[in-house]
Amino acid sequence: MAEACCPASCGELIQGWVRGGEHLVSCPIDWFSTVEVREGTPLERERPRMRAMLGAVLRHLHLPAALGDGLRIEVDSTIPVGKGMASSTADIAATAQATARHLGHELSESDLAALCVGLEPTDSTLFRELTLFDHKAGAVLARHDWLPEVELLILESPERLLTSDYHRRDRRAPLLEGAPLLARAWHHMELAARNADARELGQATTLSAIASQRLLVKPLFSELLALVEQEALLGLNVAHSGTVVGLLLDPARHDRERIAALLSRPPFCQHYPRLHRARMVAGGVR
């Protein structure tokens, strides 16, 4: 038996047309999908892509596909599905590493990235560092070894959006229109990492979120921006291919409970009835 876990993401820190294509930096948080692989009969309720990932790992390790018939996958995850919180990436990345470990191997981050993008567009939560990632081709464009001291209040809408449906849309025109904002966002992101400056990070995420409105409108976006300004928060971020919004707080400066109380009132609670508290963590499959 072997186990692995991978963090969820509060949307993306940035996503859009930057450095020659649509790329993203995920926002890993302390919310995990934990997967166990062991000997046993496969469960009927297994998630299909997790079983597909088990088969992909067997092929990667040059092992017979029939070996999978005697392996059981069990998952423990409460990450919301269809909200832009990287639930699928967490599931399949953890499945990949748990499968490899059960068979006496350990997959590298590059192995995991290649395996995951072979199944679907993938979040950069599978990298330990903050990583600018081509979520379709699997290429790493930049890495920043900095873990921001940031807490998040995550506003969850009842609406769902499958990532696969989002990526089937023709988005090239609005992505290119947003490229100047993304260039500024990436500039702030690099400054943030270079100087360990969470305020610069908030500038980056907010600019990217503003650009994302061209592609996927978030309810009460202007009101949330006004709240960020009113309370002098670090900024906000969004799920660019999902429905959640995150408010970035400095744990040393901001009263998380007071901000949460404001968000629990109309009109916010009418569009975002569930509120989660989280903190940023290092990415990577544990």
E strands present in 123-232: 130-133, 140-144, 151-156
In a domain, residue 284? The reply is no
**Mean pLDDT calculated for residue range 121-131:** 97
Instruction: Round the average pLDDT of the chain to a whole number and report it.
Output: 96
Residue 134 confidence (pLDDT) above 90: yes
Instruction: State the CB neighbour count (10 A cutoff) for residue 245.
Output: 28
Confidence band (pLDDT; 50, 70, 90) for 273? very high
- For 153-183, the pLDDT digits (tens) are 999 999 997 776 676 666 789 899 999 999 9
In a domain, residue 78? The reply is yes
Residue 160: CATH number of its domain: 3.30.230.120
Residue pair 181/5 in contact (Cβ under 8 Å)? The answer is no
Residue pair 148/198 in contact (Cβ under 8 Å)? The answer is yes
**Mean pLDDT calculated for residue range 71-88:** 97
- For 3-34, the pLDDT digits (tens) are 999 999 999 999 999 999 999 999 999 999 99
In a domain, residue 65? The reply is yes
- For 232-269, the pLDDT digits (tens) are 999 999 999 999 999 999 999 999 999 999 999 999 99
Residue pair 245/271 in contact (Cβ under 8 Å)? The answer is no
Distance CA 166, CA 83 (A): 12
Look at the chain and count its residues: 286
**Which pLDDT score, from 0 to 100, does residue 55 have?**
98
- Displacement of CA 13 from its chain's centroid (Å): 9
**Which pLDDT score, from 0 to 100, does residue 172 have?**
86
In a domain, residue 219? The reply is yes
Q: Which residue has the higher pLDDT, 171 or 112?
A: 112
User: What's the total number of domains in the chain?
Assistant: 1
**Which pLDDT score, from 0 to 100, does residue 171 have?**
76
Instruction: State the CB neighbour count (10 A cutoff) for residue 150.
Output: 24
**Which pLDDT score, from 0 to 100, does residue 165 have?**
61
Residue 74 makes CB contacts below 8 A (sequence gap 6+) with: 35, 36, 37, 38, 43
Distance CA 58, CA 65 (A): 6
Residue pair 234/124 in contact (Cβ under 8 Å)? The answer is no
Beta partners for 276? 154
In a domain, residue 101? The reply is yes
Query: Which has the closest alpha carbon to 243: 209, 211, 267, 277?
Result: 209
In a domain, residue 286? The reply is no
In a domain, residue 285? The reply is no
What's the burial of 55, exposed, middle or buried (CB within 10 Å: 0-12/13-18/19+)? Answer: middle
Phi, psi of 270 (to 5 degrees): -75, -30
Q: What is the pTM of this model?
A: 0.94
The 3-state DSSP class for residue 169 equals: coil
Read off the DSSP letter of residue 218. Answer: P
Q: Which domain holds residue 9?
A: 2-279
Per-residue buried b or exposed e for 63-97, using 16+ beta carbons within 10 Å of the residue's own CB: eeeeebeebebbbebebbeebbbbbbbbbbbbbbb
In a domain, residue 32? The reply is yes
pLDDT over 70 for what percent of the chain? 97
**Which pLDDT score, from 0 to 100, does residue 167 have?**
63
**Mean pLDDT calculated for residue range 181-195:** 98
Residue 221 confidence (pLDDT) above 90: yes
